[in-house]
Amino acid sequence: MKNEFKRFNLEKLGLLTIILEFIGATGLLIGLHYNLILIVASLGITLLMLCGVLVRIKLKDSIWVSLPALFFMLLNLYIFLVAINYL
């Protein structure tokens, strides 16, 4: 992953990204019991993955390489939309 962040020219954001992913994953787990936390966590991960997809597009990576970020963005967007409906 360090090499990827170097290639993205985003070396300084590597640790922040790891922390945000960890907080988001923890929020998703806690959100199984508390809907508001689920909404915030899924929206946060959706936005984080959107940034990942945009970076991949900017670097002109193939769709195959961009697919994991796109998949997780769409998955968390779905979780967000379903959680919003349960408010």
CA dihedral 65, 58, 2, 69 (to 10 degrees): -40
Q: Residue 48: what pLDDT?
A: 98
The mean pLDDT value for 17-42 works out to 97
Q: What's the token pair of residue 57?
A: 């597009």
pLDDT above 90 coverage of the chain, percent: 85
Q: Residue 83: what pLDDT?
A: 97
The mean pLDDT value for 63-85 works out to 97
**Distance between CA atoms of residues 81 and 46, nearest Å:** 11
The mean pLDDT value for 60-84 works out to 97
Half-sphere exposure of 76 (CA within 13 A, CB side): 26
Q: How does pLDDT run across 30-46, given as a tens digit for each residue?
A: 999 999 999 999 999 99
Domain boundary assignment for the chain: 2-85
Q: Residue 1: what pLDDT?
A: 79
